[in-house]
């Protein structure tokens, strides 16, 4: 059976890719044939590799199966703006069917696929559909990344309620500590544990340099 997980977050820039790398490496250790998939990416490009998204490259490098960049990230935009707007302006013709086709191709190569969304749960992929619509169609299991900072409690509660109200399975949530010192970090965590129905899968400690990572020191369990 092929396992397919969709990574969403409480906001943009809260560590979805960083946590995705940890999850891919963990799944690799369990012997899965893993593949990372970031169907749509905008901004965060790298001059070294041309018009390629840095987050997508991280997913590609941490997948256990060999993947071409286009298999990981079929739609890439130079500008850091909402994908549905860029899609409309540049005429890329992104739709749910194109995202599903890319996912299907990965199922022919792997049995554990991690799909990273863009922004939050209801980020539009067009003026007609959001990522949430596509996740429901594909019956993907969701993992919620919560960046621990001021405002995260409200965002986390709203996001999980939206996921569950869309009759989508949320396998759990992962707390990503974003600040070196947060006065009420313990209180944030205890509040989230009280309100979030889905299980806590792990906590990622604050790291000054995300490029230096030893996943064996981070305890995140797979759903």
8-12, 90-94, 192-196, 208-212: which range is least confident on average? 208-212
CA distance 113 to 128: 26
CA distance 46 to 105: 25
Question: Does the structure show a pLDDT above 80 at 49?
Answer: no
- The number of folded domains in the chain is 1
Amino acid 157: pLDDT: 98
Catalytic residue among 16, 38, 52, 96: 38
Alpha helices in 30-151 (DSSP H): 54-61, 69-72, 83-90, 96-107, 131-138
Residue 69 neighbours by CB under 8 Å, 6+ apart: 49, 52, 56, 57, 60
C-alpha distances in angstroms, 165 versus 23, 169, 199?
26, 10, 17
Closest CA to 23 of 130, 141, 195: 141
Angle, alpha carbons 151-153-154 (nearest 5°): 75
Question: Does the structure show a pLDDT above 80 at 64?
Answer: yes
Residue-wise over 87-110: b if at least 16 C-beta within 10 A, else e? beeeebebebebbeebbeebeeeb
Domain at 20, CATH number: 3.40.50.300
Does residue 133 sit within a domain?
Answer: yes
What Rg value do the Cα atoms of the chain yield, rounded?
A: 17
Question: Does the structure show a pLDDT above 90 at 78?
Answer: no
For residues 107-112, average pLDDT = 98
Does residue 89 sit within a domain?
Answer: yes
Does residue 7 sit within a domain?
Answer: yes
- Average pLDDT value for the chain: 90
CA distance 20 to 36: 8
Amino acid 222: pLDDT: 93
The tokens of 216 are what?
Answer: 């064996």
Does residue 29 sit within a domain?
Answer: yes
Q: Is 38 in the active site? A: yes
Does residue 105 sit within a domain?
Answer: yes
User: What 3-state class would DSSP assign to 198?
Assistant: coil
CA distance 150 to 158: 15
Task: Report the share of the chain in percent with pLDDT over 70.
Answer: 93
Residue span of the structural domain in which 61 resides: 3-217
Entry pTM: 0.92
DSSP string, 55-77: HHHHHHHT-SS---HHHH-SEEE
Amino acid 88: pLDDT: 75
CA distance 145 to 132: 15
Amino acid 101: pLDDT: 97
Does residue 145 sit within a domain?
Answer: yes
Alpha carbon 61 to chain centroid, angstroms: 15
Where does residue 26 fall: left (phi above 0), alpha (psi -120 to 50 degrees), or beta otherwise?
alpha
Does residue 222 sit within a domain?
Answer: no
User: What 3-state class would DSSP assign to 36?
Assistant: strand
Amino acid 198: pLDDT: 98
Q: Higher model confidence: residue 37 or residue 43?
A: 37
Does residue 223 sit within a domain?
Answer: no
């Amino acid at each position: 059976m092929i396992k397919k997980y969709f990574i969403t977050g409480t906001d943009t820039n809260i560590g979805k890719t960083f946590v995705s790398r940890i999850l891919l490496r963990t799944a690799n250790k369990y012997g899965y044939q893993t593949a990372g998939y970031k169907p749509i990416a905008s901004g965060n490009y790298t001059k070294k590799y041309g018009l390629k998204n840095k987050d997508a490259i991280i997913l590609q490098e941490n997948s256990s199966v060999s993947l071409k960049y286009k298999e990981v990230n079929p739609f890439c935009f130079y500008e850091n703006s909402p994908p549905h707007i860029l899609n409309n302006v540049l005429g890329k013709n992104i739709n749910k069917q194109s995202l599903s086709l890319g996912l299907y191709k990965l199922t022919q190569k792997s049995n554990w696929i991690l799909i990273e969304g863009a922004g939050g749960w209801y980020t539009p992929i067009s003026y007609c559909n959001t990522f949430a619509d596509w996740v429901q169609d594909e019956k993907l299991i969701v993992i919620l990344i919560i960046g621990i900072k001021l405002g995260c409690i409200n965002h986390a509660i709203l996001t999980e309620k939206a996921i569950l109200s869309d009759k989508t399975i949320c396998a759990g949530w992962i707390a990503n500590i974003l600040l070196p010192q947060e006065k009420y970090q313990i209180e944030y965590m205890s509040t989230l544990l009280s309100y979030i129905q889905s299980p806590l899968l792990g906590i990622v400690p604050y790291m000054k340099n995300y490029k230096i990572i030893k996943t064996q020191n981070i305890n995140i369990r797979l759903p």
